[in-house]
């Protein structure tokens, strides 16, 4: 069977992801920083590629740039400042354990590789991905098709409205801090040409087989976001792209993760901050 390959990862695909601390500090040429990075043992996280932001070679970059959502195996914690509640999450089928009975979204193929997985609203991270010889094998991946993207968008819009209402109630009806960007990536997919039944994993990146920042708690700080489906030829990068995590991404989830080993989403922000501090 001929493998279908992409020269870069595409949005709406799930992946296993691990930060490479050594690659991040090599540019410093600091033996102490390098020694500390070599001692780190970064975990492998389950992520959803939500936005594409840049290609290697553009503006002197050597990486693909993306924003990913870090997924969890439990509902998210309550966040008092933003008025996020634990039920502001989206289950991925076969998970049917949402606190209020919210119907799960379905991947392709379905069921998803792991049970008990949730999208959280406030775990976005901009990353750098190194080009890989041979690209990424499409047949290894789990993709979120158009119908599920639309359902996810509707859920996030509902949650954003509830969070805003909660902040307004707390402030006595006065103007409140807007934090809807925490939901924006997925909810705006409906406004970027994603239609019911559409295929979000376009073949535009196939290879021949030969070859506005969300407000978050301190532990969940994300870096600036971009257009959800991505304009890879006009990247909007962070003020200092060198601080963005350099990561490895894999589509074949089961070969890099086990259900019981999926980390708590907030841990990755601690890893990132430990490297760049």
Collapsing DSSP to helix, strand or coil, 94 comes out as coil
Average pLDDT score over residue span 208-213: 32
Pairwise pLDDT comparison (152 vs 29), residue with the higher score:
152
Predicted local confidence at residue 1, as pLDDT: 54
The tally of CA atoms less than 13 A away on the side-chain side of residue 153 is: 22
Q: How far apart are CA 154 and CA 148, in angstroms?
A: 10
* H or E stretch covering 160: helix 146-170
Predicted local confidence at residue 132, as pLDDT: 86
Q: Which range of residues forms the domain containing residue 38?
A: 5-276
| pLDDT surpassing 60 at residue 227 | no
Predicted local confidence at residue 276, as pLDDT: 85
pTM: 0.79
Q: How does pLDDT run across 235-252, given as a tens digit for each residue?
A: 445 557 888 999 999 999
Contact 164, 181 (CB under 8 A): no
| Number of domains forming the structure of the chain | 1
**For residue 6, what are the β-bridge partners?**
136, 206
Contact 270, 38 (CB under 8 A): no
Average pLDDT score over residue span 57-83: 88
């Amino acid at each position: 069977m001929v493998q279908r390959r992409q020269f870069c990862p595409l949005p709406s695909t799930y992946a296993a992801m691990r930060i490479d601390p050594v690659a991040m500090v090599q540019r410093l040429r600091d033996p102490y920083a390098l020694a500390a990075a070599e001692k780190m043992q970064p975990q492998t996280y389950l992520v959803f590629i939500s936005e594409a932001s840049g290609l290697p070679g553009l503006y002197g970059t050597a990486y693909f740039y993306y924003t990913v959502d870090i997924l969890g195996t439990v509902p998210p914690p309550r966040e008092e400042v933003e008025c996020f509640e634990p039920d502001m999450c989206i289950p991925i089928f076969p998970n049917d354990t949402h606190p209020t009975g919210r119907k799960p979204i379905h991947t392709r193929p379905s069921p998803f590789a792991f049970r008990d997985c949730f999208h959280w609203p406030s775990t976005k991270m901009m990353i750098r991905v190194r080009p890989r010889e041979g690209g990424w094998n499409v047949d290894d991946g789990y993709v979120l098709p158009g119908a599920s993207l639309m359902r996810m968008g509707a859920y996030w819009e509902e949650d954003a409205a509830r969070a805003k209402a909660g902040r307004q109630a707390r402030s006595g009806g006065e103007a409140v801090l807007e934090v809807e960007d925490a939901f924006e990536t997925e909810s705006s997919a409906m406004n970027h040409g994603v239609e019911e039944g559409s295929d979000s994993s376009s073949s535009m990146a196939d290879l021949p087989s030969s070859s506005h920042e969300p407000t978050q708690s301190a532990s969940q700080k994300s870096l600036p976001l971009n257009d959800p489906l991505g304009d890879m030829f006009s990247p909007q990068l962070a003020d200092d792209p060198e601080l963005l995590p350099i990561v490895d991404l894999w589509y074949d989830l089961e070969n890099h993760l086990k259900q019981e080993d999926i980390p708590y989403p907030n841990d990755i922000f601690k890893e990132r901050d430990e490297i760049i501090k």
